[in-house]
Amino acid sequence: MEDEVKDFLYKIVGEDGMEVISTLNERSASDLEIAEKTGLKVKIVRKVLYILYDHHFASYVRTRDKDTGWYTYTWTLNLDRSMEIIERKKKEAIKRLEERIKFYEDNPTYECKRGCYEFTFEGASETKFKCICEEPLNYSDPSEKLEDLNLLLQKIKSPGVKNEDHIRNQQ
């Protein structure tokens, strides 16, 4: 499994989820079989499976036991298109971030000292520069927000940076 795929999967399913994935990576299995093998609760296994399914990383086949009449769901991991899906999600995230950066670059925003809500100039004018909590609205310097957003953008664009951070933190 590629590092980028692993990182992404970890982000969406967490540590327990990674156990589900490694079990499924060996062979297809039902939720009960996975729970037994990993020692995780069936509820947690199912939650992970649905997340994987939502991302098109897993699929299932439903079969009915003729004797009991119960249905069994046999799950199969499908990571063939994972890089493609991750790249697409990455592009979407980059686009959203770039839009937010452009918004803060183009629009002054106003906030009260509690920071309950962010107003554009038009919004702040409408409420006569008063927040919903009655506190006055002040111009909010976007430089810190922009710095955070740009940092996030860099991290998404070049995931390698994250590993360097990791090494730096350990030293």
Sites of contact with Zn ion (CB under 5 A): 112, 114, 116, 131, 133, 135
In the complex, least distance from residue 143 CB atom to Zn ion, rounded to whole angstroms = 21
d(CA 42, CA 35): 5
CB atoms within 10 A of CB 137: 22
CB atoms within 10 A of CB 25: 11
In the complex, least distance from residue 39 CB atom to Zn ion, rounded to whole angstroms = 48
**Cβ closest to Zn ion, residue 53 vs residue 117:** 117
- Structure tokens of 79? 């990571």
**Cβ closest to Zn ion, residue 59 vs residue 127:** 127
Measured CA to CA in angstroms, residue 69 lies from 15, 36, 43, 97 at distances of 34, 22, 22, 50
In the complex, least distance from residue 111 CB atom to Zn ion, rounded to whole angstroms = 7
**Cβ closest to Zn ion, residue 103 vs residue 129:** 129
